[in-house]
């Protein structure tokens, strides 16, 4: 399983936890607010879970730009990759 796919699966689990929806009801094309019904409290809870789990920061512009679950999985994969590259010992 490639890395982005792993994040997609893990993010689906987190969204299911926050929304109470079954994982089988959550799709990558779903928009967090419009399709999955996240209100500001639930969105904040999800962001905190993401930041804690992956040790990344999410900015306000990230919230505006990334609407679907698939976009969030891609963002998480990119941020984690950057963190790993930043923490690699220099040669």
Q: pLDDT class for 54, splitting at 50, 70, 90?
A: very high
Does residue 67 register a pLDDT over 70?
yes
What gap in Å lies between CA 51 and CA 10, rounded to an integer? 13
Q: How confident is the model over 46-61, as a mean pLDDT? A: 90
pLDDT of residue 64: 80
The residue ranking higher by pLDDT, 4 or 28, is: 28
Q: Quick one: which H or E segment has residue 25?
A: none
pLDDT of residue 3: 82
On whether the CB atoms of residues 2 and 81 are closer than 8 A, the answer is no
pLDDT of residue 83: 87
């Amino acid at each position: 399983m490639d890395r982005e796919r792993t994040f997609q699966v893990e993010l689906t689990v987190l969204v299911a936890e926050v929304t109470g929806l079954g994982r089988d009801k959550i799709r990558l094309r779903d928009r967090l607010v419009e399709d999955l019904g996240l209100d500001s409290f639930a969105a904040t809870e999800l962001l905190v879970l993401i930041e804690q789990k992956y040790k990344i920061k999410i900015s306000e512009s990230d919230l505006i730009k990334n609407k679907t679950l698939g976009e969030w999985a891609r963002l998480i994969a990119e941020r984690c990759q950057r963190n790993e590259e930043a923490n690699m010992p220099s040669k």
